[in-house]
Chains A and B, each alone.
Chain A
Amino acid sequence: MKRYATPLRFLVLIGLFVGLEILCRTKVIDPFTMQPPTLIVRDLWNLLAAGKLNKAIAKTLSNAAIGFALAVSVGITAALVIHRVRILREALDPLFATYYAIPVLAFYPLLIIIFGLGNIPKIMIAFMLGVIAVIVNTLNGLDRVPRVMLKTARIVRMSPVETAFRVTLPYAAPYVLTGVKFAVAYSLIGIIGSEFVMSTEGMGFEISFAYTNFDNATMYPLILLILIVSISINLLVGLWEKRLLARRGLR
């Protein structure tokens, strides 16, 4: 049955596409609400070919990359420290358990007041969304390192840093990777979300700008572009994870 799933999924997507096309062409969905998908694709192609979006795309992706890099590096370091300090772990566990419920974007206005309307508040939102996922998943991996490995490390007199890089982190890598995967998705969500809510540049801003100008011919192609970009980035990371796990004989 699994064999049929992927082709069927394509069929469903094509069906949706054709269905929307028909609904739009027959004016059941009026053109002020949505344009036919074929027109959206054509507009997107034109926008990309004209190079008008290059700056916005570069801005969004570079900010997302900074937020992602910060989340991963700080997250892993923090997890290594938290794992060693028991009292810290006890104090932070309840925070980790409820963190997903916190509307992180609600901090955005405050960050704008503090840092001004620029890159920093957006990067901080992306960082705040991603870092906890990295910490939680890294801790989960560190908890599973067999004690005998840690003892061996101590016997050969590895320093804590060396132990982290040569024993614990490699062992916990698959779990860390899950956190990294979340951080990729969250950094994109954070950057684009804050650009959309209030900003002066980036893909999210371009969408909200097009929306306020009733410029559907720009807005829908942009939405499509963001969906394509984020879905393909997430897919690539997923594939990479699968390959790494397969090499380790997991899954």
Chain B
Amino acid sequence: MRNKLSSIANCGIILAVLLALAASAQAQDGADLVKQLCGKADAPVRDAAQLAQAYQEAIDYLMPLMSADDVPSRYNYQIMFQDMGSYAARPGAETERQAMAKVIVANLDRADMLDVVRHWFVLQLERIGAGESVPALVKLMAADDRHLADYARRALEKNPDPSATEALLEKLSSAEEAAWKIGLLNSLGQRRAAEAIERIAESLGDADPNVASAAATALSNIGGAASAKALFGVLNKPLGPVSVKVAQALIDIAQERTAHNDVVNAGKLCVAVYNWATKLTRDPNGPNPFSIRVAAINGLMTCDPDKATEEIVNIIRDGDPRVGRVAVQVARQAPTTAPMRALARVLPELPPHYQVQVLGLIADRGDLSSVGPVKRVLHSDYEAVRLAAIDTLTEIGCDESAEALLDIAVNGSGAVQRAAREGLALMAGPRVEEVIRASAASGDVKKRSAAIGLLGKRRVPGVAEALMGYAADANEEISSAAFKAMVDVADMVDAGTLADLVAKTSGQGARSSAGAALRAALTKAPDKAAAAEAVIERVRNSTGEVKVTLLMSLDAAGGPAALQVVTEAAQSSDEALREAGIRTLGNWPDFAAADVLMKIASNSETSLTHYVLAMRGALRLIVTSDSAPLEDRVNLCFKAFDNARRDDEKRQVVAAMGAVPSPKVAERLLALAKEGDFKAEAALAAVELAGSMLRRDREAARDLAQKIRDLNVSDDVNSRAEAVMRGRPMRGRGR
């Protein structure tokens, strides 16, 4: 007996395993089949019947998965189903598309299908369905599930088969609910179903304005004379809730006519709608469909530009400001320049806000013939108009514009002068460069200087040579202007040649400008060492102020050779040279100058001025030399603190320590924060240091902040320390 029971149990287990294996194999088969039908696996050649069978098997596999209790898990299978449809509807696979669509249709009646799954099935028919799907979709439009009915309606809207139009039309005849009518009207409009015009036109008189509006939109989508006639039937009646919508629809039809080169009929539509809208505005208590007037005149601009131009000039002179403000845009979009020129002619007599807009229009069209009218408002009482006129002349870009702007660039003031200069710096166009070059070459010194400045700003090829020539001019103002302009073309200038020019320059102003130009050239030199060497050579061969000017440019180049020369100068017995050397060291770009600066600062014989300069230079290096070895920066901090002659400098050193992320510095700051004259500065610097350490070593940063908080130096320091402890340091010192 026991053996028998055991045998039965074993058989049961085997059966269960076999069933599980069968189910798994079936699932594997289903997944493989779906892959084939999505084009993601090799598939055998199938005829229509075999395809139908394959799609049915795939759906049988997917359906339960698309309906699973675990709702999020359904998505992947929905997408597999969609991918099957996308692949079936690929170009050149009509047999597959049709087979799949038919299988979808055949499954729509399944009782075991969830509503949301049925929606998804119909959505696929929207994307791949054709004539074979229409009867089923028509049936679904009568479904109790209103969402399903609308899915079906949308699928018919996209269906390329003519029978879909018939179905939608038939449904419209019996439709009662407003939303449903709107959907059907919209579908017919989207299908551009000319055969539906008559029926849609009936809906223009629907009691529900939303339905009537949808009918107007549908007619505008279909377009053509018959639609326009139906819409005029409403527009010609007394004003109603859909009149404006109807007018918009007519404008759309006019645009469609224009696109088909039927400008005669398009023009008629625009005139009629424009007159209708204009007539309405005469009633002060009535509506003002100004946007309709704008759209109509815009349409007319293409069909009858003369009439439209005349009208926009009238409007902008004496019309509804809401239409007037758009009139300029109508002219901007016009196919010819006639409307712009008509507005340019009346420019001086327009109110300032229209002047600004019309000037913008002229600028956009870059019309050379409008320079005259623009110049007439160039000296308007309104700065905004003057600025707009300058912009416009800049845009037009010609010799006459350039002359006009040069005059303002020289004799103007404030924002207007700046605008003229900026405009000239960028102005392109015939003979502009010639005007500027000619003005730089001769004439009034003030004008020449301005033009020379523009040459630099414009950076045209060959300008560096021209500026070198002007820099050598005997007139200091011209020479100075040229050196200033060279800053803008410093990358084109040879430092050695420029240094020679500096040596020849007389006059304090020109030499100062020359020094600035030389610094700029050294900064931008591609080979800084070579450029520095060229200047060093000239430093050695020069004397007096020239030597000082050349020397003081060397920090812009940096490097050991330059540092050596500057260091020697800083120790010179010549007071002027010594001061120049120390000042230059104070601006040195890297940490290499630290030792010599400290040496100067710590020398008790150094004058107070030089001591301050050296100290400031050292402080700057402490804060900015991130790439220098940390230990060197730490040592510099301590030396600077120990050698500071006055408390002011000691405070500055303490503050600078906050930028040096070192445990030694933290320790020193903590000690200083505990007692002594620099408690407040040290505590604040320590908190800053802690804040900057947060990213690298959160724990050490919090520990430091905690220690400062424990010292309770001040409320400000406490709150900053607490902010660091929270991991969100405050910005700024905010003392």
Q: Do A and B bind each other?
A: no
Chain A residues within CB distance 8 Å of chain B = none
Chain B residues within CB distance 8 Å of chain A = none
